[in-house]
Structure 1
Amino acid sequence: MRIRIGIIGGAGYTGGELLRLLINHPHAEIVFVHSNSSAGMPLHKVHQDLLGETEILFTSELHQEIDVLFLCTGHGEARKFLQANPPAAHVKLIDLSNDFRLAEQSTLELAGNDTIQFIYGLPELNRDAIRTARAIANPGCFATSIQLGLLPLAKAGFLNEIYTTGITGSTGAGQSLSATSHFSWRSNNIQAYKTLTHQHLGEIGQSLRHWQPDAAIDLSFVPWRGDFTRGIFISSTMHMALGYQELENMYIDYYTNHPFTFISREPIFLKQVVNTNKAIIQLEKVGEKLVVHSVIDNLLKGASGQAVQNMNLMFGLPEDTGLRLKAGYF
């Protein structure tokens, strides 16, 4: 099978990671990589590690001779782009922004009465729907890690009041420089931000209500900026009467048929998942309290890797095709 691919916004971090994956994907053919700012330049002029990997040039032109279009644009830009450039009916869409993640925003109305419905692209929640979808809203990075830590409990109906903290690397802020993404600010430094108001809370709550539709789930989330480049470490704390073994069995059963999510009995850490599409979860039970730790690479399982995972599902390929990656362990 050959999957012809177009990419919108290929100059940023998520676009670069997507290119690195697709160049080596056995069924992918990159037809074009769109970027107004880099049009005419070779990909390796922007993503310098791709020197010797490809001679593809960025372009400002669009082509309809594709099977799937990835949108790696800024938040709020994907909807505008698709309305201005309606895709052909046969083209599948995978959007990496937050434009279509929430149910009330998941419908795109185009000229000629064409309506596109986006499916929330968390395979561990919506795998069957993803397989038959025309369009996917790829989840956020914090959202992915938090949800993977909580979904088995939600399915069992055990979620109520949850306190979550999470720390992310500087690549989570995107490629454009800001005061808090400069090396001199990030080095030897951490900071809480968007306390209790992070933009991913909406999609997290939506997914948890998939399993507990009538529950009053109260999730308090404090995110942190870390002094490293990539990865997310989440810890969610809650009251839990069940014993450790019953909880572990619940998690193992939930993720048995999902190729990228694993349960560890040992303390987990970022280097286990950085540069991979894995999510690793660890449970700690102390008295009546449960802490669920989860780790992912924010640019892979939290963005571009999950997008390729969704593409594989949409085109009937094994879910892990092109995604068996080596961790940057040392």
Structure 2
Amino acid sequence: MKQIKTAIIGAAGYTGGELLRLLVHHPACELVYVHSNSQKGKKVSVVHPDLIGDCELVFTDEVQTEGIEAVFLGLPHGETKGFLEKHSFNPETVIIDLSTDFRNEAHGFVYGLPEVNKSKIQKAKRIANPGCFASAIQLALLPAVAKGWAKNQIHISGITGSTGAGKKLAETSHFSYRTGNMSVYKLFDHQHLAEISQTFSQVNTDFDSELLFVPYRGNFTRGIWITAYLPFEGTIEEALSAYREFYVGAAFTHVSDQDIDLKQVVNTNKCIIHLQVKKGQLVIYSVIDNLLKGASGQAVQNFNLAFGLDEKEGLRLKSIAF
């Protein structure tokens, strides 16, 4: 298998560490260098101890553009635009950005949600990876939106693990704050709502519903649980049929007849969905790993698509289960 010369820019955080964990074992990836300004000169396995014995690379603060075929950008939100203005990569280099900077499909970037944009991603050289909450919410609601079932207001709640806040310490990510605790943040005003509405309008040009999203901070490390509901006059059989038809070609999104739980997806690139029809409402549950299907795993999925590889290459991961 051909080795694709790859670099990771901004690889010291949680998503960078997950990218490394996936790519060091990816059969088509040759990691040329790993960039970090804060960790330059340190071995990768010192910063990410889970990679002891798997990666001998040393972090560098130098940016090499020549000969690089794929670049993953794990920079903080708002810094990617400036970085790409300063560092010019070959137009044929595939750039996958994990920040919010290009999710509005500006500057030639394709929005990297494979369940909707697979054919675009396969041709793209610039890919904007979706946000974690955005991925889980979109996958929960896309079939209903496409069918025109999502009208007026859509009620959504979601709880995310502490790794969703990033590696940099903040009061609300400290162990003493999170443990035995829950809290709401960015009520009805989460930054991911813009990209969600953009995708919903793509699959249904008549979509104009208001998304009322309540995000919770959870007292666990990994995973996202979404609950969404909307008025529905159909049967559970009709709902299941629509969802299964929409996701028939999806490599990682599955509709379950059984009740689901978060541990089914932790450490995997899966999204698992469960539906119920009750009291005139279609209730949708959606679970993902925020660091994988919500970030680094989906980025590798997009890498595979952009280079014509098996979509599941390097992502055949088993959940922790218990």
CA drift at 1:266: 1.4
Residue 301 (structure 2) pairs with residue 299 (structure 1): no
- Counterpart Cα distance in 2 of 1:215 and 1:82: 34
Q: Which residue of 1 aligns with 2:139?
A: 148
Which amino acid letter does the alignment assign opposite residue 17 of structure 2?
G
Which amino acid letter does the alignment assign opposite residue 71 of structure 2?
L
CA drift at 1:90: 2.0
Alignment of 1:44-193 (within 5 A): 44-63=45-64, 64-103=66-105, 106-107=106-107, 117-160=108-151, 161-193=153-185
Q: Which residue of 1 aligns with 2:25?
A: 24
Q: Which residue of 1 aligns with 2:316?
A: 324
- Counterpart Cα distance in 2 of 1:216 and 1:260: 28
3-state DSSP class of the match of 1:180? helix
CA drift at 1:306: 0.1
- Counterpart Cα distance in 2 of 1:317 and 1:219: 36
Answer yes or no: is the 8 Å Cα contact 1:124–1:258 preserved in 2: yes
User: What residue ranges of structure 1 are gaps of 5+ in the alignment?
Assistant: 108-116
Q: Which residue of 1 aligns with 2:5?
A: 4
Deviation readout 1:228-279 (Å, 9 max, x if unpaired) = 0010000001101111001101111111111100011111111000000000
CA drift at 1:124: 0.2
Q: How many residues align?
A: 319
Deviation readout 1:267-326 (Å, 9 max, x if unpaired) = 111100000000000001103111100000000000000000000000000100110101
- Counterpart Cα distance in 2 of 1:255 and 1:216: 23
Answer yes or no: is the 8 Å Cα contact 1:8–1:72 preserved in 2: yes
Answer yes or no: is the 8 Å Cα contact 1:283–1:290 preserved in 2: yes
Q: Which residue of 2 aligns with 1:279?
A: 271
- Counterpart Cα distance in 1 of 2:202 and 2:19: 29
CA drift at 1:215: 2.7
Answer yes or no: is the 8 Å Cα contact 2:41–2:58 preserved in 1: yes
Which amino acid letter does the alignment assign opposite residue 279 of structure 2?
G
1:266 equivalent among 213, 238, 258: 258
- Counterpart Cα distance in 1 of 2:285 and 2:120: 28
3-state DSSP class of the match of 1:321? coil
- Counterpart Cα distance in 1 of 2:162 and 2:149: 33
3-state DSSP class of the match of 1:293? strand
Which amino acid letter does the alignment assign opposite residue 101 of structure 2?
D
- Counterpart Cα distance in 2 of 1:223 and 1:209: 22
- Counterpart Cα distance in 2 of 1:214 and 1:150: 15
CA drift at 1:214: 2.2
Which amino acid letter does the alignment assign opposite residue 73 of structure 2?
L
User: What residue ranges of structure 2 are gaps of 5+ in the alignment?
Assistant: none
Deviation readout 1:127-177 (Å, 9 max, x if unpaired) = 000000010000000000000011111211221121000000000000000
- Counterpart Cα distance in 2 of 1:215 and 1:261: 23
Answer yes or no: is the 8 Å Cα contact 2:200–2:207 preserved in 1: no
Answer yes or no: is the 8 Å Cα contact 1:157–1:211 preserved in 2: no
Residue 257 (structure 2) pairs with residue 257 (structure 1): no
- Counterpart Cα distance in 1 of 2:208 and 2:299: 31
Runs ≥4 in structure 1, deviation > 2 angstroms? none
When the two structures are superposed, what TM-score results if normalisation uses the length of structure 2? Answer: 0.98
CA drift at 1:210: 0.6
Answer yes or no: is the 8 Å Cα contact 2:145–2:207 preserved in 1: no
- Counterpart Cα distance in 2 of 1:210 and 1:16: 32
3-state DSSP class of the match of 1:208? helix
Answer yes or no: is the 8 Å Cα contact 2:10–2:36 preserved in 1: yes
Q: Which residue of 1 aligns with 2:223?
A: 231
Which amino acid letter does the alignment assign opposite residue 149 of structure 1?
A
Residue 16 (structure 2) pairs with residue 15 (structure 1): yes
3-state DSSP class of the match of 1:142? helix
When the two structures are superposed, what TM-score results if normalisation uses the length of structure 1? Answer: 0.95
2:192 equivalent among 193, 200, 214: 200
